[in-house]
């Protein structure tokens, strides 16, 4: 009977921690209650022998490690893009595109209608007038509207 209560208290603590980690945002009442239940079950198991305590502690550490790995793999930090496009990589994010008006270049990606083209070794985000232009085609800048560079295929 005591063992069943110990297991129930331990599993309740694990359930509360899982709810806190994956369902309820932040670290609050459920997390504290879960930790209290787990540490309470560990303290109670220690009174009944080192074997029972070691078993509960081992289960807690293994499940905690698995939870940590799941959090690292699928946690909210993976929802945010950490890489940035910089002009060091050849991509120009903000520049005076007025100088490109009339320039001729080559599409690096298909334009559907947006994509990337290269003008004088400079990669620029461009948009066609609505038509599809495959990659590798020659294009000319026909209009610049702020950061929007409109191109047309040279036939």
Q: 121-139, pLDDT tens digit by residue?
A: 889 999 999 999 999 999 9
Beta strand spans in 91-154 (E): 104-107, 114-119, 122-128, 138-145, 148-153
pLDDT band at 9 (very low <50, low <70, confident <90, very high): confident
From the DSSP assignment, how many helices (H) and strands (E) are in the chain? 3, 5
Q: Which carries the bigger pLDDT value, residue 26 or residue 3?
A: 3
Per the structure, how many domains does the chain have?
2
Domain final position from 61, 79, 97: 79
Cβ partners under 8 Å of residue 59, min gap 6: 10
Per residue, the 3-state secondary structure of 48-97, as one string, reads CCHHHHHHHHHHHHHHHHHHHHHHHHHCHHHHCCCCCCCHHHCECCCCCH
Q: Which domain holds residue 52?
A: 2-79
Q: pLDDT tens digits, residue range 63-96?
A: 778 878 877 777 666 666 666 655 555 555 556 7
93 with 74, same domain: the answer is: no
91 with 67, same domain: the answer is: no
How many alpha carbons fall within 13 Å on the CB side of residue 54?
3
Residue 123 sits in a domain whose CATH number is 2.40.50.140
């Amino acid at each position: 009977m005591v063992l069943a209560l110990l297991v129930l208290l331990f599993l309740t603590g694990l359930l509360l921690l899982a709810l806190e980690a994956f369902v309820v945002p932040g670290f609050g009442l459920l997390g504290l209650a879960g930790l209290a239940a787990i540490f309470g079950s560990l303290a109670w198991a220690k009174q009944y022998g080192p074997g029972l305590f070691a078993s509960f502690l081992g289960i807690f550490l293994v499940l905690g490690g698995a939870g940590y790995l799941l959090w690292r793999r699928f946690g909210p930090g993976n929802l945010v893009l950490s890489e940035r496009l910089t002009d060091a990589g050849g991509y120009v994010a903000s520049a005076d595109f007025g100088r490109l008006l009339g320039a001729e270049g080559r599409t690096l990606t298909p334009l559907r209608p947006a994509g990337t083209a290269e003008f004088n070794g400079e990669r620029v985000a461009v948009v066609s007038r609505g038509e599809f232009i495959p990659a590798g085609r020659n294009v000319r800048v026909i209009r610049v509207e702020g950061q929007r560079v409109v191109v047309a295929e040279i036939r």
